[in-house]
Chain A
Amino acid sequence: EPEVTQTPSHQVTQMGQEVILRCVPISNHLYFYWYRQILGQKVEFLVSFYNNEISEKSEIFDDQFSVERPDGSNFTLKIRSTKLEDSAMYFCASSAPASGGYTFGSGTRLTVV
């Protein structure tokens, strides 16, 4: 069964450093998303991406965040200057136009120290 692949599975970074979280969505999907989950809390929407541009973003997704689809397969989330409160699991997801569901990756655990 097709999967959404995320790398790395765990990333530790120092406060103020830039991080890039990588995702390979399912190949025929056209819509891409990033979500985050702070430990023990609910999954929160960050951003959706379609046709090479952001289609919607949440209040969490401020100027420190950016997304990119640098080639035909990768979808990246960049946090320019990490803060302690950015520590969370970050999930990438993708969906196809006519399908009923969103497929999530296994997540990247980001720890900012």
Chain B
Amino acid sequence: GENVEHHPSTLSVQEGDSAVIKCTYSDSASNYFPWYKQELGKGPQLIIDIRSNVGEKKDQRIAVTLNKTAKHFSLHITETQPEDSAVYFCAAVWGMNRDDKIIFGKGTRLHILP
């Protein structure tokens, strides 16, 4: 069945360093890959997304790269700050319709160390 895996499940980085979270997915039909940040007590917030026809996308300190052949995509956060501490969920969307469900991974807890 559809599956999305996070690597690693927990990540600690020194403030100012970069953090990379990688996700693998199982279904090659996936064509949309959003990343969500979830802070304690809040709902998942979309931070960046990428479509299958693009290899990389950047938005200030955040970037996402996609390798369709290997079926993995990664979130890159540079110059990490304390407020980056949160759980990050990758997701994959199957199909071309906008009502297709999102399949989330289990999440990566990112700790930014002072």
B interface residues, Cβ below 8 angstroms from A: 32, 34, 36, 41-46, 49, 51, 89, 98-107
Contact = CB atoms under 8 A, between A and B. Distances in A.
A91 B104 contact: no
B99 A31 contact: yes
Interface in A24-62: 30-31, 33, 35, 41-45, 48-50, 55-56, 58
Given A101-B49, A102-B46, A106-B42, A45 B105 contact: no
Nearest to A54: B99
B106 A41 contact: yes
Contact of B34 (A4, A33, A102): A102
Contacts of A11: none
A42 B106 contact: yes
Nearest to A44: B104
Interface of A: 4, 6, 30-31, 33, 35, 41-45, 48-50, 55-56, 58, 91, 93, 95-98, 100-107
Given A42-B106, A107-B42, A48 B101 contact: yes
B46 A103 contact: yes
A56 B44 contact: no
Contact of A42 (B43, B51, B107): B107
Contacts of A31: 98-99
A103 B41 CA distance: 16
A61 to B, nearest CB: 11
A58 B43 contact: no
Contact of B100 (A56, A91, A98): A56
Nearest to B4: A42
28 contacts: A31-B98, A33-B102, A35-B102, A41-B106, A42-B105, A43-B89, A45-B101, A45-B103, A50-B99, A55-B99, A56-B101, A58-B101, A91-B43, A91-B44, A93-B43, A95-B98, A96-B98, A98-B98, A100-B32, A100-B34, A100-B49, A100-B51, A102-B34, A104-B46, A105-B43, A106-B42, A106-B43, A107-B43
